[in-house]
Amino acid sequence: MSKIVNVEFKLRTYEYYKPFHITGSISESSTNIEVVIETDAGVKGYGEISPSFRVNGEKVEALYKLEEAVKESIIGMDVKEYRKIFEVLDRFFSTPSVKAGVQYAVLDAFSEEIETPVYYLLGGLKEEIETDRTVGMDTIENMVKEAKKIFSEGFNVIKIKVGENLRKDIEVVGEIAKETKGAKYIVDANMGYTPKQAIEFARVLYRRGIDISVFEQPVVASDIEGLKYIRFNSTYPVAADESARSKYDVYRLIKEEAVDFINIKLMKSGISDALAIIEMTKTANLQLMIGCMGESSLGINQSVNIALGTGAFVFHDLDSHLMLKENAFRGKFKQENAKIKIL
Ligand SMILES: [Mg+2]
């Protein structure tokens, strides 16, 4: 038997090494919920809930109170039948990070019972992935310094946060490109631009010969037409992040032909919607990246296993654990600079 006998939520706060500044938000710490699921075989599965109020309207204090509701929903169910449990947990659709952490803890418990890593349960498509690292907003000088450091440490994909000041943003991306030749760039405006500003940004940089691999969420989440306008009036591939939370969001983005890329984050979709989005985007010939919120190594472990198991992602933006102070590393993976594989 592999029946769930207990579910436990534990609040955990992690400080950032330095405040993380993106459009409209500066984070100094990340408060997450560690999820522990126990089965009648005495096995424990671990997951992490890392909510974003900015993206999903989720407050960790409210989510913490859902422990009882989750218990009532899944205690007595068998982790071997994890798809049945996923369906029950899909009812928590308005708290997708809870869905993510609990669904993953179920997979982790099953994986421990059969002594097979989660990425094999999901298909074992890849043995290794490479993550980017992110340069948060700061002065131009500090951003360039940070990018050079990241690049020199062996990270070949650099994610650059922009969106609060068009002129400065153009300059900073230009300067970083000059100093990190050979790197690839993901530029994320976190909804900071109007469609016209986004096109201006892309045109100026393109004329300067700078290649950007992904231009992420230039406009507000609800502006699907804006995304489409930018997609067809500029050269860089456009990605939806804040616009793409559930599988229904992605279905609409596909129908509207609004973007080239989807940024999947488990905390926006849970594991079940993430798997559905992967199949939908593959079918529609869209490309995928995987990102994170404020996960510790415990939460990044979830995305690493999904990424390796499904092999679905062109870019991996799984670096939040590198920005947070942790007492101990909790991932079941090994990381050497950008390269990540399962132990
Ligand atoms: Mg983003």
**How many CA within 13 A on the CB side of residue 106?**
30
Cβ–Cβ under 8 Å, residues 275 and 301: no
263 alpha carbon to ligand 1 midpoint, in Å?
7
pLDDT of residue 21: 97
pLDDT of residue 105: 98
pLDDT of residue 35: 98
Q: Which amino acid is at 214?
A: V
**How many CA within 13 A on the CB side of residue 301?**
25
Active-site residue identified among 159, 161, 247, 332: 161
Question: Which run of H or E residues covers position 28?
Answer: strand 25-39
Q: Is 265 a catalytic residue?
A: yes
**Helix extents (H) in the chain:** 53-56, 60-64, 67-74, 82-89, 96-113, 118-121, 140-152, 166-179, 195-207, 224-233, 247-255, 266-283, 297-310, 320-323
114 alpha carbon to ligand 1 midpoint, in Å?
35
217 alpha carbon to ligand 1 midpoint, in Å?
6
| DSSP state, residue 131 | B
Q: Is 181 a catalytic residue?
A: no
Distance CA 18, CA 63 (A): 26
Active-site residue identified among 159, 247, 265, 268: 265
pLDDT of residue 1: 73
Q: Domains in the chain, ordered, with CATH? A: 4-116 (3.30.390.10), 120-341 (3.20.20.120)
pLDDT of residue 17: 97
pTM (whole model) above 0.75: yes
Distance CA 52, CA 54 (A): 5
pLDDT of residue 343: 83
110 alpha carbon to ligand 1 midpoint, in Å?
31
Instruction: Mark the ranges of the chain whose per-residue pLDDT is less than 50.
Output: none
80 alpha carbon to ligand 1 midpoint, in Å?
34
3-state SS, 46-83, equals: EEEECCCHHHHCCCHHHHHCCHHHHHHHHCCCEHHHHH
pLDDT of residue 185: 98
CA distances from 15 to 88, 224, 296 (A): 33, 34, 10
| pLDDT tens for each residue of 285-323 | 999 999 999 999 999 999 999 999 999 999 999 999 999
| pLDDT tens for each residue of 177-206 | 999 999 999 999 999 999 999 999 999 999
206 alpha carbon to ligand 1 midpoint, in Å?
21
* Residue with tokens 């890329």, as numbered in its chain: 261
Distance CA 264, CA 280 (A): 12
Radius of gyration of the chain (CA): 20
Distance CA 163, CA 190 (A): 7
| DSSP state, residue 310 | H
27 alpha carbon to ligand 1 midpoint, in Å?
15
Residues with CB under 5 A from ligand 1 (ion): 188, 216, 241
